[in-house]
Amino acid sequence: MLRTALRNVLAHKARLIMTALAVLLGVAFVSGTLVFGDTTANAYRTAAGPSLKGVAVSVQSQQSQEPPGGPDGKPTSTLDTALAHRIRALPGVAGVRPTVNGEATVAGKDGLPVNTDKAWQNLATNYLPGKDSHISLKEGRGPASEGELALDAKTAEKAGYRIGDTVRFAIDGPALAKKLVGTVSTDDPQVNAGGTLTLFDTRTAQKLFLHPGQFHQITVAAEDGTDHRELTDRVRALLPDKGAKATRGEDLAAEQADQIVEHTGALTKALLGFAGIALFIGAFIIANTFTMLIAQRSREIALMRAVGASRRQVVRSVLIEAALL
């Protein structure tokens, strides 16, 4: 009966190949989806890692609106220049970088907005020379007055701007114009993924996105040998009761990794849905193939029973074929 089962498998090579192909495609879809999801998550983690390099403590503003909505409609922050100075004076602090974050859509020389399909990646921040290892000057100089700005090199090239040109951009109102004085390079994953980066001097950034003397975030670098957990506790002791949050750099990296896994996990689940459909179809094809197989071999099975094969042996021969597949 074993030899008979093997002969039946080899006698129908086309059926064997098509059934095996259905299995291979279904399994390949599932394994490929899992590999793709994990690779994507790891790539995002790798890209986001450099942005947190050297961050011992991150102090973030939990913004609130002045009722009703603030006199100018802008958010307010409890992080100010005085707080930044007090944090800088703490023992174990090697450096402090207060930042203002916002969004700015740059218009190219042709008048059309740059990167309209990824507007959420049109980043804007303040430029602090020598204090941000993640942003390095490539050409020209950093903005130093209200009428100046700098762009990342890719955006400047894409928009057709050169040093000295007037750049038009918009934040949340009428278009503004400032002189391009420099281009920079950055390891920010959003910018490297196709976003834009616009840099202003600190006062101008505060005027555009917050209020004078206020910041969205204060990044703290620690001296060698400083315990980051203890430093985080010291920073928290200086913060107001509401409106600010201090997070250890390692904890911030873990939170970022969890968010990346959550976002990429949704993509993996969606693809696994299609993979499940492929597996279902493959299983249906195999079941249908064996149903037709038994129907076509009714005379053969009857002959085998007539020469002495038992019912159990006949069933076993079919199961052997299935096991081989």
pLDDT band for position 132 (cuts 50, 70, 90):
low
Q: Are residues 312 and 174 in the same domain?
A: no
Any domain includes 258: no
For residue 165, what is the DSSP state? P
CB 216 within 8 A of CB 101: yes
Buried b (16+ CB within 10 A) or exposed e, 269-297: eebbeebeebbeebeebbeebbeebeeeb
- The rounded distance, in Å, linking the Cα atoms of 306 and 132 is 87
pLDDT above 60 (res 67) = no
pLDDT band for position 118 (cuts 50, 70, 90):
low
Mean pLDDT of 124-138: 81
Q: Are residues 63 and 127 in the same domain?
A: yes
pLDDT band for position 32 (cuts 50, 70, 90):
confident
- The rounded distance, in Å, linking the Cα atoms of 102 and 198 is 9
Q: Are residues 96 and 228 in the same domain?
A: yes
**Residue 202: per-residue pLDDT:** 93
Q: Are residues 279 and 225 in the same domain?
A: no
pLDDT above 70 (res 119) = no
Which DSSP string corresponds to 115-149?
A: SGGGGGGEEEEE--TTS-TTEEEEEE----STTEE
pLDDT band for position 122 (cuts 50, 70, 90):
confident
pLDDT above 70 (res 137) = yes
Cα pseudo-dihedral 285, 288, 290, 296, rounded to 10: -130
Structure tokens at 65: 């609106």
Q: Are residues 78 and 146 in the same domain?
A: yes
Q: Are residues 200 and 233 in the same domain?
A: yes
Which DSSP string corresponds to 217-264?
A: EEEEEE-TT--HHHHHHHHHHHS-SSSEEEEEHHHHHHHHHHHHHHHH
Q: Are residues 98 and 230 in the same domain?
A: yes
Any domain includes 67: yes
Total number of domains in the chain: 2
For the chain, percent of residues with pLDDT exceeding 90 = 30
pLDDT above 70 (res 72) = no
| Prior bond of 129 cis (ω within 30°) | no
pLDDT above 70 (res 71) = no
Q: Are residues 193 and 131 in the same domain?
A: yes
Any domain includes 245: yes
pLDDT above 50 (res 45) = yes
Q: Is 241 exposed, middle or buried (0-12, 13-18, 19+ CB in 10 A)?
A: exposed
Any domain includes 314: yes
pLDDT above 70 (res 70) = no
Any domain includes 295: yes
- The rounded distance, in Å, linking the Cα atoms of 80 and 320 is 76
- The rounded distance, in Å, linking the Cα atoms of 44 and 192 is 11
Any domain includes 7: yes
pLDDT band for position 131 (cuts 50, 70, 90):
low
| Last residue in a domain, options 231, 253, 275 | 253
Q: Are residues 12 and 83 in the same domain?
A: no
Q: Are residues 247 and 267 in the same domain?
A: no
Mean pLDDT of 257-281: 77
Phi and psi, residue 65, nearest 5°: -95, 135
Mean pLDDT of 135-153: 92
Q: Are residues 126 and 227 in the same domain?
A: yes
| Last residue in a domain, options 228, 253, 278 | 253
Q: Are residues 191 and 68 in the same domain?
A: yes
Task: State the residue range of the domain holding 240.
Answer: 54-253
pLDDT band for position 68 (cuts 50, 70, 90):
very low
Q: Which of 42-51, 132-141, 162-171 has the lowest mean pLDDT?
A: 42-51
Any domain includes 148: yes
- The rounded distance, in Å, linking the Cα atoms of 205 and 125 is 7
Whole-number average pLDDT of the chain: 83
- The rounded distance, in Å, linking the Cα atoms of 226 and 316 is 71
Cα separation of the two ends of the chain = 17
| Last residue in a domain, options 204, 235, 253 | 253
Structure tokens at 265: 């996990």
Pairing of strands 93-99, 217-222: antiparallel
Q: Is the pTM of this model over 0.75?
A: no
